[in-house]
Structure 1
């Protein structure tokens, strides 16, 4: 049994892998997963962006490796996490300042219903069933497609419904009228 005083404290915090190797590994994995999530599996889930989901998954894995001993030291895990966070910050800044990069990093909204007609081709592209679409329409109080001007699948996976009557628009990112008053 190891006691608190017999722990190799210096060994816990010294690097066992060169920083440059961790930077290359972290960068390669970040870019690979980003491209997979953006282009191979383009449909995002929930109300957070793709880069946010990606960074959470990778940080969780990197932290787990550092804590479980797959790395030889805690500092190895900290350096890898810092590299991954840095890439996430770079992506956020580039997407903010450069619209062309934003188009690369974030999928565009996709129209699913136009003037009351379901665009089956777009729904097939994102593997959205009519049942799933109707579920979202019912949440917006829609009973008939005749009430709908457009429905968009947003880049974060949410649905925006624009009704014909009164131009009532639901944006999943803005507070409801009752919340903003």
Structure 2
């Protein structure tokens, strides 16, 4: 069995990957800069999906010879544009914002855990206490509240 085709298909494929990859990367950076800081903010579920889609699209552009750079750049621009449009609408519409982003959840208040909310959000007492300690407090009694933010981080008040 000849293993050479599995390891090396020729220099043209490597040259294409270098050229198209560099140009696609530059296009993605340009689109992200144009779309604003919100595209690169802490990830909520919607942002995570867009980020994965961008990575997948960039990968396809790099590795699939059947995808021309213009088509790939259009796909990247479409994803970034849709991200911009959704965030534009969600900033102006409370209903749209609720569809796209989760609301923050109160997990503890005045030293008492909100067990129903913790169960719904699948957060343990140990995780909350760890966040409290990481914030420089000894225990839950030392903080006013613990909130699970829409990006999954824990805020200690």
TM-score of the superposed pair, with normalisation by structure 2 = 0.68
Residues 1:48 and 2:43 are matched in the alignment: yes
Please list the CA deviations of residues 124-144 of structure 1 after superposition, one character each: whole Å capped at 9, or x if unmatched: 111111111111010122223
Which structure: greater helix fraction? 2
What is the root-mean-square deviation in Å for CA atoms of aligned residues? 2.5
Unaligned runs of 5+ residues in structure 2 are 1-9, 21-40
1:147 is aligned, of 125, 131, 142, to 142
Change (3 A) 1:124 1:3: closer
Residues 1:61 and 2:49 are matched in the alignment: no
Q: Corresponding residue for 2:128?
A: 133
Residues 1:92 and 2:87 are matched in the alignment: yes
1:104 is aligned, of 77, 99, 103, to 99
Q: Distance in 1 between matches of 2:67 and 2:57?
A: 13
1:120 is aligned, of 106, 115, 138, to 115
SS at match of 1:146: helix
TM superposition shift of 1:159: 1.3
Q: Distance in 1 between matches of 2:42 and 2:78?
A: 25
Please list the CA deviations of residues 62-93 of structure 1 after superposition, one character each: whole Å capped at 9, or x if unmatched: 11111111643222212211211111011110
Change (3 A) 1:110 1:70: farther
Change (3 A) 1:132 1:3: closer
TM superposition shift of 1:101: 1.1
